[in-house]
Chains A and B, each alone.
Chain A
Amino acid sequence: MTSFLQQAFNGLVSGSFYALLALGLAVIFGMLRVVNFAHGALYMLGAFGAVALGDSAGLGFWWALLLVPLALAVVGTLLERLLIRRLTALDPLYNFLLTFGIALVCQDLLRMKYGAQSQPYERGPFPGSMDLGLFDFPRYQVFVLAVSVALCLAVWLLLTRTRIGTIVRAATERPELTRAFGIDTGRWVTPVFGFGVGLAALAGVLAAPMRAVNSGMGSDLIITVFAVVVIGGLGSVFGSVLAGFTIGMIQALGNLYVPVLSQTSVYLLMAVVLLVRPAGLFGKEEHA
C-alpha cells in the first residue's frame, strides 16, 4: 500500500510537467492552430536557463523561476512575430515542420555549448522530506506539484472568468465571428504564444533541481506530451491538464506492477482513445 501511494505521488509529480507543457500546447494550438514542436526544446532551455543564471550570475532558484520564463516568453513572442506568423496563412503542417527545425537547432546548440553530459543544479529549495504518516514526501516535489496545480487552476480561471479569457476562447472557437463583433483577435495571438512558451520555460526551471539537465531532456518529453494532448483532446485545456496528471499516474503505477509496459502504456492508451473517441476525450470534432 505504501509503495502504491508513493508511486501515485511520483506519478502526480511527473504529471505536473506533462500538464504544464500540455496546457501551453493547448492554448497555443487554440489561438494559432500551431502545434508547437519546439515546446520541449523551450522546456529544456528553461532548465538550462536556471543552470546558466546560477553559474554566471550566482542567482538562485527563485530568481530563475521569475526571470527565465519571462525571458523565454520574450523569445517566444519574437519567434511568433518573425517566423511563425509568416506561415499562418498556409497549412498548419508547415508550422509544425518549422518548429521541428527550431527544436533541432536549439537542442544541438545547447549540446555544442554544454556537451551531452547532464549539468548539475544544486540550488533547489526545500531540501529533505516531510513525514505525513504514510511515507516520506520529498518536500521539493510537493512544492512542484502545488505550483503546477495552482498554475493550471489559475489559467482555467483566467480563461473562464475574465474578459481576456472570453476573447481567447471566442477566437479559438469562431475566429471569423469574433472578428465580426469588432474584436481584434490578432492582438492576442502573440501574447498567448508568449504565455504558452513561458509556461514551458517555467516547467523547465522547476525540473532543473530534480531532473537531469541535458540537451535531450525536452525531446523525449515532448513526444509523450503529444500523446497526452491527443488523449485529452488537442485544444481542450481541461482535457490536456487532466490527461497530463492521469498519464503521469498510469506510467508510475505501471512501473510498479508491469514495468515492461510502463513507457508504452501512454501510447496504448492513445490507441484506445483514438478507437473510441478520435477527437480525444474532451476534444470537439471540428469541421471546417
Chain B
Amino acid sequence: MILGLLEKLHSRPARIRWGLLTAGLLVALGLPWSLYPPVATDILCWGLFAVAFDLLLGHAGLLSFGHAAFWGSSAYVTGLIAIHSGLPFYVAVLGGAAAAALLALPIGFFAVRRSGIYFAMVTLAFAQMVYFIANQWGDVTGGENGLQGIPRDLPGVDLSDSFVFYYAALPVVLLGLAAAWRIVHSPFGRVIAAVRDNSARARALGYAADRYKLVVFTVSAFLSGLAGGLYAVNHGFASLQEVYWTTSGKVVVMTVLGGIGTLWGSLLGAGAIVRLEDWLSTSGFEETGLVTGGVFIVVVLLFRRGVWGTLTHTLRSRTRSSAPDPEPHLEHDHDDSSQPVSS
C-alpha cells in the first residue's frame, strides 16, 4: 500500500522510500493488535473503497455520488454466493466484485455522457435505483432485514476469530491497492489524466475520451466491489445501508479528507472516519451525520488539500522553493458549466 510513496517522494533518497513502505506494511500488519479486530478489518475495507473512489475522482476527475451501488451490490452478491455455494470466501468476494463491475457498465455508459456536477447527480440517481431494487426484491436481498448469516468459509482455516480473519482479508486489500497504484502509473493512467485535464485535447489526439472514462469507472467499481464484499463477510450480513446514498457520501468525505488525487491519503481518511464513527457509536452518540457533515464543511472550506495533500505539499515546498502546488483538481473539463458568476 505504501508503494505510492515511491511516486510521491521520488525526489527523496531511496532509503526513505523503503523506510516508509516498510513502516506502512508494519502498520497494516500490526493494526489488529492495537484495535478491536473487526474495526481494523473495517478500516481495510473502507480504505480500499476510498482508494478505488479516488482512482475515479482524483485521477479521472469524475465525482461519482453513487459508489454505494457498487460497494453494496457486491456486498449482496458476495453474501448470496457465500451463503448458497459453500465456496471459499475469496471466490465469493471476487464474484461480488465482478457483479459490481457488470453493474458499472450500464451506469457508467449513461453517466459518462455528462461530466462535472451532472455526472454526480446521474450516478446518485442510478445508485438510488439500485437501492430501491434491493429494498423491493425482498425474496433475494431480505429487504428491510438485509441478508443475514454470511459465512466466512475457507477450507482448512477457522476464520471465526476476527483477528484471524483480518489476516485473511489483508492480502485481498493489498492486491487491490497495488492494482490501483499500477493503473495510475501506467500509460492508461496517463491517458486518464490527460482526459481529466483537457478532454477536448485528448479527443483531438485520438483518444476516445468517453471509453477511457467508462473503463476507469468500471475498474473503480470492481475495486469498490472487492471492498464491499469483504465488508459483508466481515460483518456476516449485508444491509440496505450498504446501498444507501449516505454510504456514497461517506466514501467521498474519506477521500476528500485524505486528499483528492493522492490515492494513499484516502487510506488515512478512511482510517480516521472509521475510528471516529466507532468511537462515537461506542459512546452512544447516534447522529454520526452531524460529524461527517461537519468534517465535510470544514475540509471543503479550509482544508481542500486534505491530510496527505497538505503533508506532501509542505514537504515539497520545504525541499524546493519552486512554484507552489496547485489546488487539488476535481473536474477540469467544463463541458457542462460555464464560468460561475463572481461578484
Are chains A and B native binding partners rather than an unrelated pairing?
yes
Q: Taking beta carbons and an 8 Å cutoff, which residues of A are in contact with B?
A: 31-35, 83, 85-94, 96-98, 100-105, 107-109, 111-112, 171, 175-176, 185-187, 189, 219, 223-224, 226-227, 229-230, 234, 260, 263-264, 266-268, 270-271, 274-275, 278, 286-288
CB <8 Å contact, A288 and B289: no
Question: Shortest Cβ distance from B265 into chain A, in angstroms?
Answer: 16
> Cβ of A186: which chain B residues have Cβ within 8 Å of it?
341-343
Q: Is B304 an interface residue (CB 8 A)?
A: yes
> Cβ of B252: which chain A residues have Cβ within 8 Å of it?
97, 100
Given contacts A102-B297, A105-B290, A226-B121, contact A90 B334 (CB under 8 A): no
CB <8 Å contact, B128 and A223: yes
Given contacts A33-B339, A103-B293, A271-B126, 8 further A-B contacts (CB under 8 A): A31-B341, A88-B340, A91-B116, A93-B63, A102-B297, A108-B288, A234-B117, A234-B118
Question: Shortest Cβ distance from B204 into chain A, in angstroms?
Answer: 15
> Cβ of A33: which chain B residues have Cβ within 8 Å of it?
337-341
30 pairs from A and B in contact (CB 8 Å cutoff): A33-B341, A35-B120, A35-B121, A87-B301, A90-B304, A91-B330, A91-B331, A97-B256, A97-B300, A98-B297, A101-B300, A103-B293, A104-B292, A111-B287, A112-B287, A112-B290, A176-B339, A187-B343, A189-B341, A219-B245, A223-B125, A234-B117, A234-B121, A270-B125, A271-B126, A274-B114, A286-B337, A286-B338, A287-B335, A288-B338
B contacts with A: majority SS: helix
Q: Which of A93, A226, A268 interacts with B124 by CB under 8 Å?
A: A226
CB <8 Å contact, A223 and B300: no
Q: Which of A35, A91, A104 interacts with B289 by CB under 8 Å?
A: A104
Given contacts A102-B297, A107-B289, A112-B287, contact A263 B132 (CB under 8 A): yes
> Cβ of B116: which chain A residues have Cβ within 8 Å of it?
91-93
Q: Which residue of B lies closest to A103 (CB)?
A: B293
> Cβ of A224: which chain B residues have Cβ within 8 Å of it?
128
Q: Name B307-342 residues within 8 Å CB distance of A.
A: 327, 329-331, 334-342
Question: Shortest Cβ distance from B101 into chain A, in angstroms?
Answer: 19
Question: Shortest Cβ distance from A56 into chain B, in angstroms?
Answer: 22
Question: Shortest Cβ distance from B86 into chain A, in angstroms?
Answer: 32
Chain A proximity mask over B43-82: 1 for CB below 8 Å, otherwise 0: 0000000000000000000010000000000000000000
CB <8 Å contact, B122 and A270: yes
> Cβ of A96: which chain B residues have Cβ within 8 Å of it?
63, 117, 120
CB <8 Å contact, A230 and B121: yes
Compute how far the CA of A287 lies from the CA of B335 in the bound complex, rounded to whole angstroms.
5
CB <8 Å contact, B331 and A93: yes
Compute how far the CA of A226 lies from the CA of B297 in the bound complex, rounded to whole angstroms.
21
Q: Which of A88, A98, A176, A278 interacts with B301 by CB under 8 Å?
A: A98
Question: Shortest Cβ distance from B64 into chain A, in angstroms?
Answer: 11
B interface residues, tally (CB under 8 Å): 52
CB <8 Å contact, A278 and B125: no
Q: Which residue of B lies closest to A226 (CB)?
A: B121
CB <8 Å contact, A230 and B337: no
> Cβ of A94: which chain B residues have Cβ within 8 Å of it?
300, 304, 330
Q: Which of B124, B253, B295, B337 interacts with A223 by CB under 8 Å?
A: B124
Compute how far the CA of A227 lies from the CA of B253 in the bound complex, rounded to whole angstroms.
23
Q: Which residue of B lies closest to A263 (CB)?
A: B132
> Cβ of B256: which chain A residues have Cβ within 8 Å of it?
97
Question: Shortest Cβ distance from A39 into chain B, in angstroms?
Answer: 12
Instruction: Give 8 closest A-B pairs by Cβ, nearest first.
Output: A186-B343, A101-B296, A104-B293, A105-B293, A108-B287, A267-B129, A108-B290, A108-B289
Q: Which of A88, A108, A264 interacts with B293 by CB under 8 Å?
A: A108
Q: Which of B128, B133, B289, B304 interacts with A105 by CB under 8 Å?
A: B289
> Cβ of B330: which chain A residues have Cβ within 8 Å of it?
91, 93-94
CB <8 Å contact, B125 and A189: no
Q: Which of A104, A171, A266 interacts with B296 by CB under 8 Å?
A: A104
CB <8 Å contact, A88 and B125: no
Q: Which of A92, A93, A101, A107 interacts with B294 by CB under 8 Å?
A: A101
Q: Name B175-198 residues within 8 Å CB distance of A.
A: none
CB <8 Å contact, B341 and A185: yes
Q: Is B136 an interface residue (CB 8 A)?
A: yes
Most buried by A among B63, B289, B331: B289
Q: Which of B113, B114, B295, B340 interacts with A92 by CB under 8 Å?
A: B340
> Cβ of A103: which chain B residues have Cβ within 8 Å of it?
293
> Cβ of B293: which chain A residues have Cβ within 8 Å of it?
100-105, 107-108
